Amino acid sequence: MSQDQNDFAKLMEAQLEAFKKMTTNQASAMNNFLGSLQALTNIGAVFKTTVQKAGRISIPEAERAALGIKEGDLVQVMVVPIKRA
C-alpha cells in the first residue's frame, strides 16, 4: 500500500469514527429529550390553552377527567409561551 493510500485510509477511518461519535451523541440527546417529554406525560397532561380575562386558563374536560382533577383541587402549572408568527 502506498503512503497516499495509507493516509487516505487513516483519513477515512478518522471521519468514520467522528461520524459514529456524532450520531451517538445525537441519539443520546434525542433519548434524553424524549425521556423528559415522557416524564411530563406520565405525571400529568400536556395541552394548549388560551389565556382568558384576568389571566385565567382552562384545563380541558378530558384532561381533568383523566387526571381526576375536581373543582377546588390544587394543581401545579408549567407555562411555556407559544410565539405566534
Domain ranges, ordered by start, for the chain: 3-67
Q: Name the pLDDT band for 61 (thresholds 50, 70, 90).
A: very high
What tens digit of pLDDT does each residue of 15-33 get?
Answer: 988 888 888 888 888 888 8
Rounded CA gap, 85 and 80, in Å? 16
Q: What is the pLDDT at residue 41? A: 61
Signed CA dihedral, 57, 58, 64, 70: sign only: positive
Comparing 70 with 84, which gets the higher pLDDT?
70
Rounded CA gap, 34 and 55, in Å? 30
Torsion of CA 20, 22, 25, 30, to 10 degrees: -110
Q: Is the pTM of this model over 0.85?
A: no
